[in-house]
């Protein structure tokens, strides 16, 4: 993929008053932001929220959501990390709380990467940690390769960085389902699919196995209140269909030939963590191949988690991230 060029438009930051009270001594999951911002990027303005205080010794961490067309909502349980560093959440252009110009010209990988850099510049951070999930992992990888000087570390979670690898993986997972379910999914992906009453349950069976398992905890009252307040216009199916396609099992959009695996050799493997759930759509075997292509990289597997492990196993997910971020900060101090 072509790496992003310098934005032609000036980057500006306009603050929106936050409704939050003073930062608590110990940040809480799903808490209100310390500050909110609308950041000018190519194509429009994106909504950004920050919890915690920025210090040079503990670089901020930015969470990059999946999709394309998703929102930041799944990361609300990670705001407790703000007791040690600034935590940045944002919605990509055309989703959630951000503006929706609905211009297909904006739906390019390089623009989404430049969007992330615009946020860093607007907030005035020198370096930050990246946590990208699913489609967000591709953006984190692209950013780390393009802006190594601003990347404290990169966590590629629920790892999508290559459409061919992803499609191969999901089709292998289909074959691990009961034979009747697998046959229905394969039929539903054909040119002559059966009726929705067949395809709906079959697709749901895949998601229950690999993307939101039935034993996941119910959302807390705080999570439900947060989602009601900060969902904005929510998921953008138009962006998802245009860039990916109608299902997880086949890509027909602009990402159909996307493959960022060559970038793995360009990033600092010693500052790269791959993170997946035990039952993730991003198959452990595939992600292990990515680890091998990134000398020095590490792999964390969230026990019992699927692709939705941030919500299914929030405590262990937070613990893994907290330990990783602290270790990366300590390693940086040793080199200075």
Sheet holding 44-51, edge to edge: 13-16, 35-41, 44-51, 87-90, 61-64, 128-133, 151-157, 272-277, 298-302
Provide CB contacts within 8 A for 187, sequence distance 6+.
193, 194, 198
Biggest CA-to-CA distance, the chain? 62
Strands 44-51 and 35-41: antiparallel
Report the catalytic residues: 134, 280, 307
Judged by DSSP in three states, 146 sits in helix
CA-nearest of 230, 217, 208, 235 to 314 is 217
CA 297 to the chain's CA centroid: 19
Measured between alpha carbons, how far is residue 48 from residues 123, 250, 274 in Å? Answer: 10, 32, 25
User: Residue written as tokens 């010794």?
Assistant: 57
Residues 21, 28: Cα–Cα separation, whole Å: 13
Residue pair 145/167 in contact (Cβ under 8 Å)? The answer is no
Three-class SS state of 129: strand
Q: Which of 6, 3, 188 is nearest to 110 (CA)?
A: 3
Dihedral sign for Cα atoms in the order 270, 272, 278, 283: negative
């Amino acid at each position: 993929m072509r790496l992003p060029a310098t934005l032609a438009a000036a980057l500006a930051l306009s603050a929106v008053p936050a409704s939050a009270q003073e930062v608590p001594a110990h940040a809480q999951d799903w808490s209100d932001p310390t500050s909110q911002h609308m950041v000018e990027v190519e194509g429009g303005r994106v909504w950004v929220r920050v919890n915690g205080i920025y210090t040079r010794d503990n670089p901020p961490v930015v969470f990059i959501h999946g999709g394309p067309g998703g929102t930041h909502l799944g990361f609300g349980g990670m705001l407790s990390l703000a007791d040690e560093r600034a935590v940045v959440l944002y919605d990509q252009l055309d989703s959630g709380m951000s503006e929706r110009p609905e211009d297909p010209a904006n739906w390019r990988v390089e623009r989404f990467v430049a969007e992330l850099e615009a946020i860093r510049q607007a907030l005035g951070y020198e370096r930050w940690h990246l946590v990208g999930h699913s489609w967000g992992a591709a953006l984190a990888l692209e950013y780390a390769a393009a802006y190594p000087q601003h990347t404290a570390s990169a966590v590629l979670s629920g790892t999508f960085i290559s459409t061919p690898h992803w499609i191969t993986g999901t089709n292998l997972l289909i074959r691990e389902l009961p034979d009747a379910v697998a046959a229905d999914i394969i039929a539903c992906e054909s040119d002559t699919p059966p009726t929705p009453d067949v395809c709906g349950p079959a697709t749901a069976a895949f998601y229950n196995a690999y993307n939101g398992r039935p034993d996941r905890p119910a959302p807390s009252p705080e999570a439900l209140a947060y989602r009601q307040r900060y969902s904005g216009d929510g998921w953008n199916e138009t962006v998802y269909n245009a860039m990916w396609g109608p299902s997880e099992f086949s890509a027909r959009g602009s990402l159909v030939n996307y493959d960022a695996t060559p970038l793995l050799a360009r990033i600092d493997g010693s500052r790269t963590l791959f993170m997946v759930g035990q039952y993730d759509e991003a198959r452990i075997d595939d992600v292990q191949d990515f680890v091998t292509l990134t000398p020095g990289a590490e792999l964390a597997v969230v026990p019992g988690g699927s692709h939705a492990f941030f919500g299914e196993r929030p405590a262990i997910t937070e613990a893994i991230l907290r330990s990783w971020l602290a270790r990366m900060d300590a390693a940086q101090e040793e080199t200075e």
